[in-house]
Amino acid sequence: MTAKPQIFTLQNENGMTMKVSNLGGIVMSLTVPDKNGKFENVVLEFDKPEDHLKDGYISALIGRVGNRIANGRFTLDGQEYKLALNSGKKPTKCCLHGGDGGYDSVIWDARQFDSPDGPSIEFTRLSPAGEGGFPGNLFVRVVYTLKNTNAWRIQYWAMTDAPTVVNLTHHAYFNLNGAKKPVDNHLVQLFCDRYTDVGPGLIPNGKVLPVHGTPLDFITPHTIGERVKAKHPAIQVAGGYDHNFIISKPAGANLSLCAVVEDEESGRQMETWTTEPCVQFYTGNFLSAKKVIGKGGRGYGKRMGFCLETQHAPDSPNQAGFPSIRLNPGEVYQSTTIYQFYTVED
């Protein structure tokens, strides 16, 4: 990093605030009212932007390709590309979230502005060909808007000068009780009837399986803690929930509801809407209170936050049966995700 990380503040007309950094597009805080009107931060909070990167890509932009690429290799138009192996152990080491020096750890150009929907901030950068091992110069634009309807909208755009692969997402860690305790009591509903099965190292094996009859079935609501330790292969290999769910989109739908999460104690409820075909539901299984030190020296341990990372499926460049993440010159990559907040009464 050559430039210095900066922190910007957005505030909507209802008093919600968001603090974000040009380092990795990191969301440092997002205040949301509870059923009594009390505002609390609902993302894991740290003293400095750099602290978010010490363990787990916490609340940062992810790219050029989010999630895992098996063996850190893929082939495009007959040419093999080799990426950094930054996650896992042999023989299942992989490239995770863009590899070393991914979009979470770079300084972006940032510009605040007022949009008709609420205060916004724009992040832009040119990701040079060869960065992380990926082909093509990729221009990326991302806009966060703190909507006056009490929603956080993320809009992504990308263009390339050579064929490449792109799968942008955001790794926000949410805790609707204000991170006073783990998220085990959060009630989750996922509008997803299938998931991509994985083997050791959480590498997809190409199988797409139904959630019915498994602890991954959130079509009707369940709390996170209810089945997070179930003796089921999909749960055991991930140490909890860390799975790519395929969204059950209505015919002709573009922006679709994929998840609803509620914390009964605070009355906060969060809907997740997206144009993406999939969502990674992760319950902070790898967080460690000894390693992940938050604001004021507080340690964040296992299941202190959950993620809903909207995306295309992991390892898509190596899985012919998964929707492609290829981007060609002349095309524009576009994606939108909205986290909408409400309060519900007892």
pLDDT band at 55 (very low <50, low <70, confident <90, very high): confident
Helix or strand or coil: residue 316? Answer: helix
Query: Per-residue pLDDT averaged across 13-38, rounded?
Result: 97
Catalytic residue among 97, 171, 186, 222: 171
What count of Cα atoms within 13 Å lies in the side-chain half-sphere of residue 344?
14
* pTM, rounded to two decimals: 0.97
243 is catalytic: no
Is residue 211 scored above 90 in pLDDT? yes
Separation between Cα atoms, residue 205 and residue 279, nearest integer Å = 17
pLDDT band at 346 (very low <50, low <70, confident <90, very high): low
Predicted confidence at residue 289, as pLDDT, reads 92
Chain centroid to CA 265? 25
- Cis status, amide bond into 250, omega within 30 of 0: no
Do the Cβ atoms of 152 and 146 come closer than 8 Å? yes
Domain 7-343: give its CATH code.
2.70.98.10
What the block records as the tokens of 74 is 């893929």
Catalytic residue among 45, 243, 309, 312: 309
- In tens, the pLDDT along 97-117 reads 999 889 999 999 999 999 999
- In tens, the pLDDT along 305-340 reads 999 999 999 999 999 999 999 999 999 999 999 999
Separation between Cα atoms, residue 184 and residue 95, nearest integer Å = 29
Separation between Cα atoms, residue 327 and residue 333, nearest integer Å = 7
309 is catalytic: yes
Q: Where are the beta strands (DSSP E) in 68-129?
A: 68-70, 73-76, 79-82, 94-96, 109-115, 118-127
Separation between Cα atoms, residue 238 and residue 230, nearest integer Å = 11
